[in-house]
């Protein structure tokens, strides 16, 4: 009997996302979040010898995986996708952002992203730099911990969880393991939705915070307006409401003419995107990959730049 590798990653909305890019064989495309390369490999298969694909990823393991692609049309940057701003203006025919955390990151307990396996409380996407969650928790105030859990986890028990973390620090010292944190959270959360672990929202909050995920997303979206060519497609797959809200509002903001109330007779600032709708995984994909159930893909197209 074949045993499936527990770290195998299934790319969500693979065909739908690449189809939404409307690949031109000779174009330059960007996979802003390489992950394990599912989208990149399919994009490459649709490019001609003159096409080009540039990928970004902060995760060193993802960059190492990208090293297995021996293709002169492909390059990988060990950078967050907020560095899109460094690319040449109007240089890309399409840009894909898959904001999901990959299965190997979740399933590898050594990365500290999940409460399912015990490991060091790290959660950094880029393990070569920056402060990990254990280091931050060692010194963070109760107020700061409460704010992070409330704002990034949308957790109604943020206050009691933060106080429980503080009590544990005072009694036992620094919290350094994922199971230890999960047990503390479970003791502070008295009710939870059926089938959902009490620590889910807290772990999400700490991961988003330590990696500055929402700030980086906002920066990358802003950069996309400069990088995309007229007619170029922006495709973004998000997995929780905080991300999707930012993407939805960004597309909506730039899909209408903007009037300056301070200068009522001035010409409006022209719209810069056409919103093309959203797509969710079908029932078959969700059944085969439950992690796809919360995915939302939004599509927009760069408008012509006024002369």
Residues 242-254 have a mean pLDDT of 96
* % of residues, the chain, pLDDT over 90: 80
- At residue 191, the pLDDT reads 74
- Average pLDDT on 5-20 reads 81
**pTM of this structure:** 0.90
pLDDT at 3: 33
Ramachandran sector of residue 304 (left: φ over 0; alpha: ψ -120 to 50; beta: rest) = beta
pLDDT beyond 80 at 263: no
User: Which tens digit of pLDDT belongs to each residue from 101-126?
Assistant: 877 778 788 898 888 889 999 999 99
User: Residue 302 pLDDT > 70, yes or no?
Assistant: yes
pLDDT at 93 over 90: yes
All domains in the chain, ordered by first residue: 14-103+213-302 (3.40.50.150), 127-210 (1.10.150.170)
Candidate from 128-142, 179-193, 253-267 with smallest mean pLDDT: 253-267
What pLDDT is attached to residue 129?
A: 92
- Average of pLDDT values for 19-30? 98
pLDDT number for residue 107 = 78
pLDDT digits (tens, 9 = 90+) for 165-192: 999 999 999 999 999 999 999 999 977 7
The Cβ of residue 268 has, within 10 Å, a number of other Cβ atoms equal to: 11
Share of the chain above pLDDT 70, in %: 92
pLDDT of residue 108: 85
Tell me the mean pLDDT in the region 244-266. Answer: 77
The whole-angstrom separation of Cα 70 and Cα 196 is 41
Report d(CA 280, CA 296) in Å as an integer: 5
Higher-confidence residue of 8 and 173: namely 173
User: In the predicted model, what is the mean pLDDT of residues 272-287?
Assistant: 95
pLDDT at 59: 93
Q: Where is pLDDT greater, at 141 or 107?
A: 141
| CA distances from residue 302 to 209, 255, 258, 288 in whole angstroms, order as listed | 30, 9, 16, 34
Mean pLDDT of 130-144: 97
Q: Assess whether pLDDT exceeds 70 at residue 277.
A: yes
Please say if the pLDDT value at position 141 is more than 90.
Answer: yes
């Amino acid at each position: 009997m074949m045993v499936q590798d527990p770290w195998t990653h299934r790319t969500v909305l693979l065909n739908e996302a690449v189809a939404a890019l409307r690949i031109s064989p000779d174009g330059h495309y960007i996979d802003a979040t390489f992950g394990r390369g599912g989208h990149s490999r399919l994009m490459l298969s649709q490019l001609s010898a003159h096409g080009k694909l540039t990928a970004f990823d902060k995760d060193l393991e993802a960059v190492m995986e990208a090293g297995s692609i021996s293709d002169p049309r492909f390059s990988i940057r060990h950078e967050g996708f907020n560095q899109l701003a460094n690319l040449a203006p109007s240089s890309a025919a399409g840009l894909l952002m898959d904001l999901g955390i990959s299965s190997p990151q979740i399933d590898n307990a050594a990365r500290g992203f999940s409460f399912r396996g015990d490991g060091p409380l790290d959660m950094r996407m880029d393990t070569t730099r920056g402060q990990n969650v254990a280091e931050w928790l060692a010194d963070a105030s109760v107020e700061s911990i409460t704010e992070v859990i409330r704002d990034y986890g949308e957790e109604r028990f943020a206050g009691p969880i933060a106080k429980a973390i503080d009590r544990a620090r005072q009694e036992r010292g620094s919290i350094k393991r994922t199971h230890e944190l999960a047990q503390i959270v479970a003791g502070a959360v008295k009710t939870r939705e059926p089938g959902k672990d009490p620590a889910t929202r807290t772990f999400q909050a700490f991961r988003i915070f330590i990696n500055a995920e929402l700030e980086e997303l906002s920066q990358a979206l802003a950069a996309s307006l400069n990088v995309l060519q007229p007619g170029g497609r922006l495709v973004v797959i998000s997995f929780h409401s905080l991300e999707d809200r930012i993407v939805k509002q960004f597309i909506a903001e730039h899909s209408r003419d903007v009037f300056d109330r301070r200068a009522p007779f001035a010409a409006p600032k022209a719209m810069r995107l056409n919103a093309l709708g959203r797509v969710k995984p079908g029932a078959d994909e969700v059944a085969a990959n439950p992690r796809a159930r919360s995915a939302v893909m939004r599509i927009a197209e760069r408008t012509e730049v006024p002369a």
